[in-house]
Amino acid sequence: MSRPTVRAVHLVSRPDGAPTADDFAFVDETAPALADGQALVENVYQSVDPYMREEMDEGGWDLHAPLEGRTLGRVVESRSGALPTGTLVHHRKAWRTHSVVTAEEATPLPDFAGVPLRAHLSVLGGTGLSAWVGLTRIARLQPGETLFVSAAAGGVGTAAGQLARLLGAGRIIGSTGSAAKAAHLTDRLGFDAAFDYHDGPIVERLREAAPDGLHVYLDNVGGDHLEAAIGALRDRGRIAWCGAVAQYNHLQSPPAAPRNLYDVVGKSLRLEGFLVRDHLDARPELYDFLVPHLRSGAVVPDETVVEGFDHVVDAFLGMLRGANTGKMIVQLADVRDV
């Protein structure tokens, strides 16, 4: 019996600055015969995320090898009793049409009736979990408090805005890269105010949006956003630092540290960075809190979906340029029977 062809993406060069399509190559391979304990997964959806830009640099992804990332798929062949054929799973062997996994490398998805499968890559996935951990464990957002979210129209940002509203935030402010995205945040996602950071000094925009100051900042950008937020935070405010998209393409010459960094001391602020992989035990908390709201329609996953494996590199590069609203997801296969 012939083995299926696997189409994969390899990293073939390390970018100097912003990556391009020339840094990647599509490679066709034959799926290997399965060993005991392995299963072959047809990948259905893949996430592309800002952290992947860091993985392209020295010390990250290997050259001329398949890449990694959050992926949802369906088991189509199995020699593993824990992964029977037909099981829907989450795994990290991404950037390929099919993946060979073991039970230790793949997690069967919970069956949440009425919840779209893609939600396991957006509000129920790593981006939603990042927002949940940042708000509840790191910043400990309290009802009535004022929250500022940078990169608010991205995957983590859109999840954070909706979660913060459900958690009782008093005022939610977001920054983003266009007037259209700012309107999307206020018109559809429950933000009280949003602004295009290109329109003027961020510190001034924050002063307009939060004249009484901020209690919490969820940072996905770093750089000038972090500096402005430090200036706008009230005494004993909290910063949950999730990402720094402003410097991912400039790791050799990152932006200067915030000039007002010592105000963290003067205002008794708390700044804490975190990696969501250290908080995977919070996933059941997120499920318990969010699934009822997804079923009721109170929360609608905000996603941009690109169709076709051949467009996975385009989707990744587009995400880095801000082409998406919400979570950027690539649909790799037919989902009519999933």
Q: What is the identity of the amino acid at 28?
A: D
CA distance 240 to 146: 14
DSSP 246-257: GGTT-TTSPPPP
- What sign does the CA torsion over 141, 133, 187, 247 have? positive
Say if CB 263 and CB 231 are below 8 A apart: yes
Give the confidence band of 334 by pLDDT, cuts at 50, 70, 90: confident
Looking at the predicted structure, is the pLDDT value of residue 188 above 90? yes
Which pTM was predicted? 0.92
Give the confidence band of 252 by pLDDT, cuts at 50, 70, 90: low
- 276 closest CA partner among 70, 89, 88, 53: 70
For residue 248, the model assigns a pLDDT of: 64
Domains in the chain (CATH in brackets) are 5-122+301-331 (3.90.180.10), 126-277 (3.40.50.720)
Q: What is the identity of the amino acid at 107?
A: T
